[in-house]
Structures are given as C-alpha cells and as structure tokens.
Amino acid sequence: MNLEEKLLKQTLAAIKDFDMIQDGDTIMLGVSGGKDSMFLGYALSQLQRRMKNKFKVIWVYIFKEFLIDCDIRFEEKRKYYEDELGISLEKVNLKLPEESKLNEWVGQSCQWCAYSRRVAMMKLCQKHNATKIAFGHHMDDIVVTTFMNMTQWRNLKVMAPINQMRTKKVTFIRPLAYTREKDITTVCDRREIPYSKCNCPVGETTMRNKIKKEIIWPNEKIIQGYTENIFWALMKDFREKYEHLHYIS
C-alpha cells in the first residue's frame, strides 16, 4: 500500500469510527492554504466517490486580511481545486475584532485568530445550510493540544475527533485524526498539492511550537511510537469517559 492510499484509509477509518459523516450531510471545509487543509480537501473529494453515504462539501478559503503574509498564492490553490478536482473554492475575507491585541500578546493573538475563523465558518454554515465543519487537525495536533491543555490550564481535555456545539446546530469533525503530520507533508509534495508554509509573525513563538520542538520531537527520537502511543491512550480515555457526551473542544 502506498502512502497516499494509507492516508485515505486512515481518514475513512476515523470518519467511520466516530460516525462523522451521515448520508445527505453538507460539510463546510475551511481551506487555510496550509498542507493539512489542502490535503483534507483532496481526501474528501476522493472519499466522496468511495463512501456509501453521499455528502456535499463546501470549500471555503479563509483570507486573513490582518495577516496577509499567511495567505499567499491563492490563485494557485484555486486553480488546483478547480482544474484538478473540479471544485469551486469560495474566498472569504476575514478581519479580527477591533479589541484584538494582535502581536501585542501571543496568546490572545492566536485565540482571536482561531475564534474569528470559527465564527466566520459558522455564519457561512447558515448561508449554505451546512451542519458540519471539517478541520484539518491531525494526530500530532491532537497530542500537542492535549499537552497544552495540561501544561497551561491544568486540564486533561482532549481535542475531540468529533464534537457538537451546545448553542449552535453545528458539529466539528476532524477526519485526519488518525494521520501523522509528516505523512501529510510527504503526500502533498509527491502529488504536487500546492500549500503555503506558515508565515504568521507569532507562529514560531507559540506554546504549540515549543511543545512540538522541545517535548514531542526529542522524545520521538528515543521512545519508539511515542506520539502514536499517547494518541491512542487519549482516544481510549475519550471513548470511555466522554464519547456519550457532546464533548466541546
């Protein structure tokens, strides 16, 4: 089995294991332009042909006006989606709220950026009658986010593969939960799927990056299966304690 087929099977397995997609669903995918969302767009386009459940995907490119350097080569990405996959990519301009402290305080900058994108996506869900939003978070993201919750907030809270908002009729799904970041990068490069590397001015100083570079990566070199073992332990705990709830991440 080649690596691309492996990732598609892992994506399909996560969708089935957590019952992420039902027949007739309309799913909103926010394409940030990075490798994860670009690959997820490709993967969902392939799985639409394989899955028994028939579903619709709305592809939306989130253009962050406040961080223009993060959003490069849009036309290249639009051309790839339209010419290679036959998919229309809608572009949405996004501004941060005036009260944001972008570049003044790293934590709040990231918080407002993520929050604003989610709000924009949920508004678009109403426009397109979508009930689910797909994120490109992969196994590494889930492990790192859980580390952040423990070390920053003293809370053992797992980034759930699927969660439903209590106040909105929107469910978040993470079909790439079983995939590794390095494998996504390799497949994108091999298939020449265009993507942008993160040029966020605060990207290198975030706690997320520190945990990856100073905890996760060094331990992967000395402990076999380090990230995978932590992930499956978290999934076991999630299933046992929280799967029957509307778990919010």
Domain ranges (residues) in the chain:
3-241
> Measuring CA to CA, which residue among 89, 64, 93, 91 is closest to residue 79?
89
Q: Please, what is the average pLDDT of the chain?
A: 84
pLDDT, tens digit (0-9, with 9 covering 90-100), for 114-142? 777 777 788 888 888 999 999 999 999 99
Residue 107 is predicted with a pLDDT of: 46
Q: What pTM does this model have? A: 0.88
Q: Give 191 or 203, the one with higher predicted confidence.
A: 191
List helix spans (H) across 18-71.
35-50
Burial of 166 (0-12, 13-18, 19+ CB in 10 A): exposed
Fold of 3-241: Rossmann fold (3.40.50)
pLDDT greater than 90 at residue 32: no
pLDDT, tens digit (0-9, with 9 covering 90-100), for 225-234? 999 999 999 9
pLDDT greater than 80 at residue 97: no
30 vs 106, 122, 190, CA distance in Å?
23, 11, 23
> Could you tell me if 172 and 21 are in contact, meaning their C-beta atoms sit under 8 angstroms apart?
no
> Could you tell me if 177 and 138 are in contact, meaning their C-beta atoms sit under 8 angstroms apart?
yes
Indicate the pairing of strand 162-164 with strand 26-31: unpaired
Residue 140 is predicted with a pLDDT of: 97
Indicate the pairing of strand 171-173 with strand 162-164: antiparallel
Question: Model confidence at 16, in pLDDT bands (50, 70, 90)?
Answer: very high
Burial readout 176-185 (b: 16 or more C-beta within 10 A, e: otherwise): bbbbbbebbe
Residue 106 is predicted with a pLDDT of: 43
> Measuring CA to CA, which residue among 244, 173, 243, 176 is closest to residue 20?
173
Section 14-33 average pLDDT:
92
Question: What is the amino acid identity at position 118?
Answer: R
Q: Give 165 or 207, the one with higher predicted confidence.
A: 207
Residue 99 is predicted with a pLDDT of: 52
Question: What is the amino acid identity at position 8?
Answer: L
pLDDT, tens digit (0-9, with 9 covering 90-100), for 49-84? 999 999 999 998 877 655 545 556 788 888 999 999
